[in-house]
Structure 1
Amino acid sequence: MNRKSPVYLNALRAFEASARHGSFSGAAEELKVTSAAVGQMVRGLEDWLGMPLFHRTTTGKARLTPTERAEHALPDIRAGLDQLVIGLERLRASATSGILNVTVSPAFAAKWLLPRIDRFQARCPETDIRLETSLKLVDYKAHGIDIGVRYGDGSWPDLIAEKLMDEEVFPVCSPRFSEIGSLNVPADLTRQTLIHDLSVDPALGFVTWDRWLRAGGVSDSQPQRGMSINNSAAVLQAAIEGRGVALARSILAHDDLTAGRLKRLFPDVTVPSTLAYYIVYRSQYASLPKLQAFRNWLLEEAGTARP
């Protein structure tokens, strides 16, 4: 590579965008400049190269078509521009080496991560956690996210996903509620206030009350009362306060069960979830020491440490 050659980075971006859109106007809209500016940059690049880059049609609807030589060069140009973006992101990451940007759901943060995070901070005091909580799938690149924990089937485009924890779904209530609620068999649940978790779409495979009751031998159940909440932590809190019986996710309910704030009902009925918790990160950041340290800590906390 001749590093003494003039580098027309903006012109290359203008050329690539114009080729993709088939017009200077489409490229201008993407690059947030005027069509005239895009045309000028492309013509400057053509002058430097000493060759045309587009066939320009003058009949019908005007459209730019790359020349054969330009078309042949486009894959390398696109790959180079992508590498430049990655390089800049690496510079950004190294410039903020003390900050690790983490995304998790609000419930996972409240019920699992935050009660344990002091152990990571004691191990890696030089790393500051910047936590973003959201029920929606955050765009890692747009939000500058380094690593996160997601709940699902493990398939997210352009991201590495490593299974962290499987889980089971089962009914829970406060110990006091179980004493006064006459809960002897699963069918008794149909006469209780059932707390529904709306934070995960059943279409994705999330276990619902209807599915659990069928597994418990209750067919054609028609529960009379119910409460619906779109936050798994709030679902458990409602059960702790005696508002009814919640369908709990074992990972989120673990600490409350251990502390005696919740009681599991009908442990003989086992309904594993087809979904699981995954550590999720971008491949280009996989080798960052701070990311690896957090990943390894998560696996150790989950009891599934890997070599």
Structure 2
Amino acid sequence: MKIRKRHLPPLNAIRAFEAAARHLHLGKAAEELSVTHGAVSKQIGNLEDHLGFPLFERAGNRLVLTERGRKLLAASNTALDQLGYAIARLDGAAVEGELRLSVPPAFGANWLIPRLAQFRKQAPALRLQLLASDRPEDALDKDVDLAVRFGKPVWRDCTVRLLAHVRYFPVCSPSLLNEPPGLATLGDLAFHTLLLDDPAGENWKRWLDHAGLRDAEAPNTIYFEDFAHILAAAREGLGLCLGDMITTGADLAAGRLVRPFEQSVEGLAAYFLIEPSVTSPAARLFADWLQAEMVSFVRNIH
């Protein structure tokens, strides 16, 4: 069904609905909009009449969104944020306020921070808070505006954008190439330590299998819970780790790490950007910038 713009409900009705849906309380919505309780109720009633279906269910004094109401709330948030941002830009206003971004430590240190100065030019008045976490369960924490996570898309009631798939390959300090026993052949891996980012070493097993070393004897291993620690250990020559161009590209370019072998394997997980159901213009600006930066980065490494 195609709805023409002139057949859309009035903006005041959408604003009344969005406020009531966010608070799940007509009185709080009325206070926010500086109108009466009855005015909010009437706007929502007119909107439901216009659409032809209910947006709320009444449970005593509480409001509960219907399934269609939840969908309209998500669409309304996006539309109002976009409109507010567009008007601010037309008026020459800067994006201000605070943006709390949660990212994995290695992603932040090795990929994001070197690019942050570019974003700061777009929003110099914005106060950024960069929080370090790679736990899937706190990606939608109430104190977080946006989150980047490496894993599988398990989050619900939010917007999840795919940022990038990755391919794994071994990386190590140049010293491991230059000192005995060296790394001239794949068989030399048996004399080195493998640095693990999962306790069972499943990622290494997948790479070894891909490289034709399924039956190779397992060398010494060290497990690290934090991938940033794995990279630090690899730079110090403690062993080899599996890296990707997002987290190890800067080290490879600077010569701090090298690729002893060219074989790579597709990762089972990917980088995702998680946006809560309610986002600010600043969060949407950053999310769009981050996605564009990643698209450009991935294009340039292929």
Distance 1:187 1:279, change over 3 A: same
CA contact (8 A) 1:183 1:189 kept: yes
Q: Which piece of structure 1 moves more, 158-167 or 141-150?
A: 141-150
Quote how far apart the aligned CAs of 1:135 are. Answer: 2.8
In 1, distance between residues paired with 2:155 and 2:254?
35
Give the 4+ runs in structure 1 shifted more than 4 A. Answer: none
Match for 2:65 among 68, 79, 91? 79
In 2, distance between residues paired with 1:140 and 1:278?
10
Match of 1:220 in 2: 215
CA contact (8 A) 2:194 2:240 kept: yes
1:155-170 equivalences in 2 (<5 Å) = 155-170=154-169
State the SS of the aligned residue for 2:238: coil
Quote how far apart the aligned CAs of 1:165 are. Answer: 1.5
Quote how far apart the aligned CAs of 1:250 are. Answer: 2.8
Matching of residue 292 in structure 1 with residue 284 in structure 2 = yes
State the SS of the aligned residue for 2:59: helix
Amino acid at match of 1:174: S
Give the TM-score taking structure 1 as reference length. Answer: 0.63
Identical pairs, percent:
30
CA distances 1:90-146 after superposition (whole Å, capped 9, x unpaired): 9xx99x951011111122122222222122112210111112212322545543311
In 2, distance between residues paired with 1:110 and 1:141?
21
Quote how far apart the aligned CAs of 1:289 are. Answer: 2.1
Amino acid at match of 2:134: L
Match of 1:248 in 2: 243
Match of 1:107 in 2: 106
CA contact (8 A) 1:191 1:224 kept: yes
Matching of residue 209 in structure 1 with residue 204 in structure 2 = yes
Quote how far apart the aligned CAs of 1:304 are. Answer: 4.3
Quote how far apart the aligned CAs of 1:302 are. Answer: 1.4
In 2, distance between residues paired with 1:156 and 1:265?
37
Q: Which piece of structure 1 moves more, 244-253 or 219-228?
A: 219-228
Amino acid at match of 1:126: A
In 1, distance between residues paired with 2:220 and 2:290?
39
Q: Which piece of structure 1 moves more, 250-259 or 184-193?
A: 184-193
Distance 1:282 1:227, change over 3 A: same
CA RMSD in angstroms comes to: 3.3
State the SS of the aligned residue for 1:108: helix
In 1, distance between residues paired with 2:221 and 2:264?
22
Amino acid at match of 1:303: V
1:1-307 equivalences in 2 (<5 Å) = 73-74=58-59, 77-79=63-65, 97-139=96-138, 142-180=141-179, 181-198=181-198, 208-267=203-262, 269-285=263-279, 288-304=280-296
In 1, distance between residues paired with 2:264 and 2:135?
29
Q: How many residues align?
A: 222
Amino acid at match of 1:190: A
In 2, distance between residues paired with 1:101 and 1:195?
32
State the SS of the aligned residue for 1:284: coil
Amino acid at match of 2:158: L
Quote how far apart the aligned CAs of 1:301 are. Answer: 2.0
CA distances 1:146-178 after superposition (whole Å, capped 9, x unpaired): 111111122311121111122111111111211
In 1, distance between residues paired with 2:227 and 2:139?
23
In 1, distance between residues paired with 2:110 and 2:202?
19
In 1, distance between residues paired with 2:230 and 2:130?
22
CA contact (8 A) 1:140 1:146 kept: no
Match of 1:47 in 2: none
Match of 1:8 in 2: none
Amino acid at match of 1:284: V
Greater gyration radius: 1
